[in-house]
Amino acid sequence: MSRFLFSTLGSLGDLHPYIAVARALISQGHEAVIATAEDYRLTIEGAGIEFAPVRPGMTELGDYQTLVKKTFDVVRGPEYLIRHIIMPHLRSRYECLLKASDGADVLVSHPLAMTLPLVGEKQGIPRVATVLSPMSFMSPYDSPVFGLAPWLQKLSVFGPGPYRCLFMLLRYVMNRWEIPLHKLRSELGLPPSPYPAMFEGQFSPLLNLALFDPQLAQPQVDWPDNTHICGCPLFDGKQADNDVLADLEQFLAKGGAPIVFALGSSAVWIAGDFWDNAIAATKALGRRAILLTGPSMPASLPDTIRAYPYLPYSKVFPHAAAVVHQAGIGTLAQAMRAGRPQLIVPVAFDQPDNAHRTQALGLARTIPFQKTTTKRLVAELSRLLNSENYANATRSMAASLAKINGATCAAHALIACAQKQNSAQS
């Protein structure tokens, strides 16, 4: 039996995949602990997994809506995330993870868990790296789409050269943002890292797990050695109340398949007029709809539209005529498995790239979140709902994904890695 310590940072989309993998490990007779913000203790322990607190928690960082607004800013969001959320708290996160690592056989890091590699180096504990979306590999051979400048992707017709230059610039910028991390390494007596933590520095020489579905990206020549694409590990989150599920069943039984609108767990906090546009578009199309709105519930909805703060995606997406979502990797994985056409409204970070890849597969159409209007929703949803091509492509994708269990695949890879390390030490 081995003990695995997972460290993650971010929203529920950054937590749920690790819950799924941890549960798969536990089912195989191993121990798993997830170290993250105190805010997620109940979710993790409710899933039957040991929890270790890492400070600061999300509530300690200030008003959550303001936090989301700043981090999802297309221009300044990444800088704010690195320089104002991660870098000032490296020491406290390191100390929390150092304590949590006691007895761990293998460490498993999220791309933003920048202090876990330091714990591994200092304590001599093997570490496995994970990425949640293809964009994390930053490969010029599979050029990602950036929300700030989506036109850059057109330069890929000239080969990898333009993106190599872009990534050289980004590495320079990241090295400056990560100066506090370099200082902490020095204080701990660790050698300097030749790579930025957000680029090659996040990866492990032992094993790198790509926790996304293989249809989204194939290995490139510059991916790190020992990389394994597992598929997206699925965890649906908390279960809905029986009364809510009964209401959902009644609504679904009353008419045609609804359009389902969802924005994940973070973008709902900065939805703005998105729900008003969704309601107006639904009426214009003469359709029914379900809105998964998070904290802000619209008032005075017609009988043809239902709004819920939360529903497990697996309970609602398969019943949709189409799914409108932001392309967070977990939301996207659920939508792809539902076999329904998708209209993607990417907000920030990896979402524009995820949306581009999904559209290239013939599964979706896209509108940038900042340019979403009632008129554009009506136009794009009409194209989706009246096309057999999208319907056929999404059904075919769902059938192929039914064979993939990302959580089990990742768990098997981690167990094999632990066994190999144990054998090497004996």
The pLDDT tens digits of the residues spanning 248-276 come to 999 999 999 999 999 998 999 999 999 99
pLDDT at 238 over 80: no
Distance CA 107, CA 306 (A): 43
Over residues 28-38, mean pLDDT: 97
Q: What's the confidence (pLDDT) of residue 426?
A: 63
Residues 6+ apart with CB under 8 A from 260: 289, 290, 292, 316, 317, 319, 320, 322, 323, 324
272: which residues sit within 8 A by CB, 6+ positions away? none
DSSP state of 83: I
**Residue 288 and residue 418 share a domain:** no
Mean pLDDT of 387-394: 96
Tell me if 130 is assigned to some domain: yes
Question: Based on the structure, what is the number of domains in the chain?
Answer: 2
**Structural domain span for residue 290:** 242-401
Q: Clarify whether residues 151 and 256 are in a common domain.
A: no
Mean pLDDT of 330-340: 96
Which one-letter DSSP state was computed for residue 105? S
Q: Let me know whether 250 and 227 are in one domain.
A: no
Q: What is the pTM of this model?
A: 0.94
pLDDT at 314 over 70: yes
Query: Look-up: residue for tokens 């121990």?
Result: 31
How sure is the predictor about 34, in pLDDT bands with cuts at 50, 70 and 90? very high
In a domain, 281, yes or no: yes
Q: Which residues pair with 342 in a beta bridge?
A: 323, 364
In a domain, 35, yes or no: yes
Reported as a single tens digit per residue, the pLDDT across 125-179 is 999 999 999 999 999 999 999 988 888 888 888 899 999 999 999 999 999 999 9
Same domain, 296 and 176: no
Residue 386: CATH number of its domain:
3.40.50.2000
Sign of the torsion angle spanned by Cα atoms 134, 82, 122, 168: positive
286 found inside a domain: yes
Q: Which runs of consecutive H residues, i.e. helices, occur in 28-89?
A: 41-46, 64-71, 77-80
Q: What is the pLDDT of residue 148?
A: 85
Residue found by looking up tokens 């578009």 in the block: 281
**127 falls within a domain:** yes
Report the SS3 class of residue 285.
helix
Instruction: Confirm whether 237 is domain-assigned.
Output: no
**Per-residue pLDDT at 70:** 93
Residues 143 and 210 in one domain: yes
| Same domain, yes or no: 273 and 325 | yes
Comparing CA positions, the residue from 81, 109, 73 lying closest to residue 94 is 109
The answer to whether residues 79 and 99 belong to one domain is: yes
236 inside domain: no
Residue with tokens 């524009």: 352
SS3 content of the chain, % helix, strand, coil (to 5): 50, 10, 40
Q: Are 124 and 259 within one domain?
A: no
99-104, Cβ contacts within 8 angstroms, sequence gap of 24 or more = 99/52, 100/5, 100/7, 100/33, 100/35, 100/52, 100/54, 101/5, 101/125, 103/3, 104/3, 104/4, 104/5, 104/33
Indicate if the pLDDT at residue 425 is higher than 90. Answer: no
pLDDT of residue 420: 84
Predicted pLDDT of residue 283: 96
Same domain, 312 and 201: no
pLDDT greater than 80 at residue 78: yes
CA atoms within 13 Å, Cβ hemisphere of 383: 13
- What mean pLDDT, rounded, does the chain reach? 94
Average pLDDT over residues 65-72: 92
Q: Is residue 269 part of a domain?
A: yes
What pLDDT score was predicted for residue 150?
A: 86
397 and 263 within one domain: yes
Shared domain check, 284 and 195: no
| Cα Rg of the chain, angstroms | 21
- 221 shares a domain with 256: no
Helices (H), 124-205: 161-177, 179-187
